[in-house]
Every structure is written in C-alpha cells, then in structure tokens.
Amino acid sequence: MKFSYNWLKSLYPKIKSPEKAAELLTFHAFQVESVEKIVDDAKLDIAILPNRIADASGHIGVARELAVINGEELRMPLPIFREDAKTAAKDLVKVSIKTKNASARYSARVLSNVKIGASPAWMQSRLKVCGLRPINVVVDVTNYAMLETGQPLHAFDYDRLRGGTKNSKEIIVRAAKKGEVLETLGDDSQKIKL
C-alpha cells in the first residue's frame, strides 16, 4: 500500500525522515518495499500484513504504529460535525444488507448543499502520492477519508438513488449477480462484467 510521508508526518510530527520511518517500520512492524521522493513529498510502499489490515491500512494506523514504536501514544483531534437535529439520516435513506456474511455493518449519512468541483490542491497532492487520481471534491473526500482511516467509503447522488418511499431512498448491500455490469468513475469510465 502507498503512504504519503508528509501525511504521516502531519499525524505524527516526530517522524524525522521518510528513510527513518521506513527503517523503524521495517525493523518493528511492516516491510517497507520502497521509498520514492515525489516533488516535496515521499511515497512509502508498505506491505501491510493481512492480520493488520483492520488497524493499519490507513495513514492513522501507520502513524499510530510509528508512535508506539517510539513508546508514545498517537493523539488525534476529535472531528466536529454539524448536524441538522430535525432530520436524521435514517429518515432520508434506508440501508438493507442482503449479504450479511459479507457486510456486517453499513453506515449512511446524508449531506446537502454540496457543490461539485475540484478538491483543494493539498488533497489532490496527497491522493496522487498514494496512487489515486483526483476526480472531484466528493469522490476525493471519500478516497481521502479511506486512505486516512483505512475504512472504505462511497458517495451516492441522493437524487439518483431508487427505491424506498417518496421521501426516503434505499441502499441495498448485496453480492454481485452473475453477468452484472459495474461502471467505474472518471474520464476513462469502463464497464466491468462481474
């Protein structure tokens, strides 16, 4: 997996250099396969062990690992959310999990008044270092959050969701059906037969 040195350093400022981070991780936790300088950043290609995917597949997990190696605790600021107390997400979107053994939990949030456009340059830079192509602010934010936390995310256009009732939509979580086609995002959109 690819990690941005600058991003790791923003989470755990005591990292001295990309090479030092690679040395500590390789000696104590994970094999760092390469360190590549990229403009004003560096990309660390880290082989995360299968038994550590749950806690170390995001930048927070690797930064936490570096802190532990140094005998410290990673302290993260708590996120601040501003919610509409009158309308809960469950009133606007229903989540139905049809394949329980593949997805024990699926959370939904509804955001409104989102303006589609380019994400900030700093975010685009971090995504590129990690091997992802910036698309737009919505897609980039979900990818950014995934790379930071290790938790996969997806954004849906609420107006294009089907099902549910007049005032509520439905997201159905299930396994793919034989012959089903998946259309990918971006300029080079392609259809993948499952």
> Containing H/E element for 129?
helix 121-129
Neighbouring residues of 47: CB distance < 8 A, sequence distance ≥ 6: 1, 30, 31, 32, 33
Determine contact, residues 174/99, Cβ cutoff 8 Å.
yes
CATH class of the 89-174 domain in this structure: alpha beta
Point out which residues pair with 34 in neighbouring strands. Answer: 45
Question: What is the second-level CATH architecture of the domain 2-69?
Answer: 2-Layer Sandwich (3.30)
Q: Domains of the chain: which residue ranges?
A: 2-69, 89-174
Which one, of 110, 98, 82, lies nearest residue 169 by Cα? 110
Note the pLDDT tens digit of each residue in 30-41.
999 999 999 999
Return mean pLDDT, the chain: 90
Q: Is the pLDDT at 186 greater than 70, yes or no?
A: no
Q: At what angle do helices 137-149 and 121-129 cross, to 10 degrees?
A: 50
- Whole-angstrom distance, CA of residue 32 vs CA of residue 98: 38
pLDDT per residue over 97-131, tens digit each?
A: 998 887 878 888 888 889 999 999 999 999 999 99
Give me the pLDDT at residue 141, please: 96
**pLDDT band at residue 162 using 50, 70 and 90 as cut-offs:** confident
Beta bridge partners of 165: 168
More confident call, 92 vs 25: 25
